[in-house]
């Protein structure tokens, strides 16, 4: 049974048992499901604040970039590939490397597991990956690659009420990813970055966003400007870091939705790190082979006190399960 069918059976088939529960979307499929069935679900459940059309637009990576550009916010250059002749125009306007980026990441991941996008260093690689995506019936765009290391990535988080008021502002940045410049983050750090917060708020207020959202930027070393990478209309991977740093987003949203007093929501601890040990060891080995980091530099970058994404001494099974999955690949 697919997750969509399971959710339909669970939420519509047992609505009397679960009536009055609060529903949160924790991945893109769930965002799409809630946005599509919002009015029907609202009759039985307490739903997170949502402007359905805007949330669905955030799942569309190309539409997100178009909206950002319309607000005067920097974005990478990108091109649609609707017809074969489009490629001739694109090749005359871009330089390599480029990124073959899915329009809808959750649909792309169903076809290409653990892959966020493809990169192409030349025309042959570009046509190869475009053909692979065509065969899988996955819609993509071609995007310029913003040069520079992963520590140039940063994000803004907020929650916007029905009346357009933000409940909090939060920023953090990435230190490393694996694989470098392509994979998932393995070391995050909390850091208040006013420029990121200002641009993030400009975007969310400009598109009349409602609910929980985070937007990721990368600073472009060519012009020094922040460029939009993507927007996630849901909880994100560094959630545990955000909570441990003092901003308990789930409680803030839950209390807001059911009418309880809100906890303090704009104070959090800066320079707190979240570390994915196995992934970061692999990142170190990759960067060390490139002579971009030494063992001493890597060890120094990992604080003695850090947040782990899953491990708890009183509840170790989730971490053990993930380790088993990693080493069983």
pLDDT in tens, 58-109: 999 999 999 999 999 999 999 999 887 788 889 989 899 999 999 999 999 9
Confidence grade of residue 27 (pLDDT, cut at 50, 70, 90): very high
Evaluate if residue 143 carries a pLDDT over 80: yes
- Alpha carbons within 13 A on the beta-carbon side of 43: 7
Query: Whole-angstrom distance between the N-terminal and C-terminal Cα of the chain?
Result: 24
Confidence grade of residue 319 (pLDDT, cut at 50, 70, 90): confident
Evaluate if residue 329 carries a pLDDT over 60: no
Four-CA torsion 4, 10, 11, 13, nearest 10 degrees: 110
Nearest to 180 by CA among 116, 227, 128: 116
Residue 149 makes CB contacts below 8 A (sequence gap 6+) with 180, 181
Q: Tokens 């991945």 correspond to what residue?
A: 27
Q: What is d(CA 205, CA 110) in angstroms, rounded to the nearest whole number?
A: 32
pLDDT tens by residue, 156-175 = 999 999 999 999 999 999 99
This prediction's pTM: 0.92
Evaluate if residue 1 carries a pLDDT over 80: no
Mean pLDDT, the chain, integer: 92
Confidence grade of residue 327 (pLDDT, cut at 50, 70, 90): low
Let me know: does 171 contact 156? Beta carbons within 8 Å.
yes
Q: What is d(CA 305, CA 202) in angstroms, rounded to the nearest whole number?
A: 34
Domains of the chain: 3-47 (no CATH), 77-144 (3.30.1490), 150-322 (3.30.470.20)
CA 14 vs. chain centroid, Å, equals 31
Let me know: does 148 contact 214? Beta carbons within 8 Å.
no
**Residue, of 320 and 261, whose pLDDT is higher:** 261
Evaluate if residue 145 carries a pLDDT over 90: yes
pLDDT tens by residue, 235-294 = 999 999 999 999 999 999 999 999 999 987 778 999 999 999 999 999 999 999 999 999
3-class SS string, the chain: CCHHHHHHHHHHHCHHHHCCCEECCCCHHHHHHHHHCHHHHHCCCEECCCCHHHHHHHHCHHHHHHHHHHCCCCCCCEEECCCCCHHHHHHHHCCCCEEEEECCHHHHHHHCCCCCCEEECCHHHHHHHHHHHHHCCCCEEEEECCCCCHHHEEEEEEEECCCCCEEEEEEEEEEEEECCCCCEEEEEEECCCHHHHHHHHHHHHHCCCCEEEEEEEEECCCCCCEEEEEEECCCCCCHHHHHHCCCCHHHHHHHHHHCCCCCCCCCCCCCCEEECHHHHHHHHHHHHHCCCCCHHHHHHHCCCCCECCCCCCCCCHHHHHHHHHHHCC
């Amino acid at each position: 049974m697919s997750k969509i069918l399971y959710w339909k059976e669970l939420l519509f088939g047992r609505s009397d048992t679960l009536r009055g529960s609060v529903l949160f979307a924790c991945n893109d499929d769930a965002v799409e499901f809630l946005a599509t069935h919002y009015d029907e679900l609202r009759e039985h459940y307490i739903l997170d604040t949502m402007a359905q059309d805007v949330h669905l637009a955030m799942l569309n990576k190309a539409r997100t970039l178009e909206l950002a550009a319309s607000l005067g916010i920097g974005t990478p250059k990108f091109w649609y590939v609707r017809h074969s002749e489009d490629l001739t125009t694109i090749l005359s306007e871009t330089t390599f490397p480029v990124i073959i980026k899915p329009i809808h990441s959750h649909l792309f991941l169903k076809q290409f597991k653990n892959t966020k996008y493809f990169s192409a260093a030349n025309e042959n690689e570009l046509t190869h990956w475009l053909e692979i995506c065509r065969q899988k019936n996955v819609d993509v765009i071609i995007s310029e690659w913003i040069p520079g290391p992963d520590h140039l990535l940063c994000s803004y988080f907020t929650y916007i009420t029905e009346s357009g008021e933000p409940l909090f502002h939060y920023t953090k940045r990435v230190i490393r990813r694996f694989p470098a410049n392509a994979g998932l983050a393995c070391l995050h750090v909390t850091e208040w970055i006013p420029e990121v917060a200002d641009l993030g708020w400009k975007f969310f207020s400009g598109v009349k966003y409602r609910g929980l959202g985070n937007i990721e930027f990368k600073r472009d070393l060519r012009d020094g400007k922040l460029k939009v990478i993507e927007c996630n209309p849901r909880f994100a991977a560094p959630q545990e870091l955000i909570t441990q740093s003092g901003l308990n987003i789930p409680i803030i949203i839950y209390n807001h939705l059911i009418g309880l007093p809100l906890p303090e929501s704009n104070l959090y601890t800066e320079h707190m790190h979240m570390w994915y040990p196995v992934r970061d060891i692999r990142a170190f080995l990759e960067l060390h082979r490139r002579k971009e980091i030494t063992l001493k530099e890597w060890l120094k970058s990992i604080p003695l006190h850090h947040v782990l994404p899953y491990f708890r001494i009183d509840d170790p099974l989730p971490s053990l399960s993930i380790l088993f999955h990693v080493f069983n690949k």
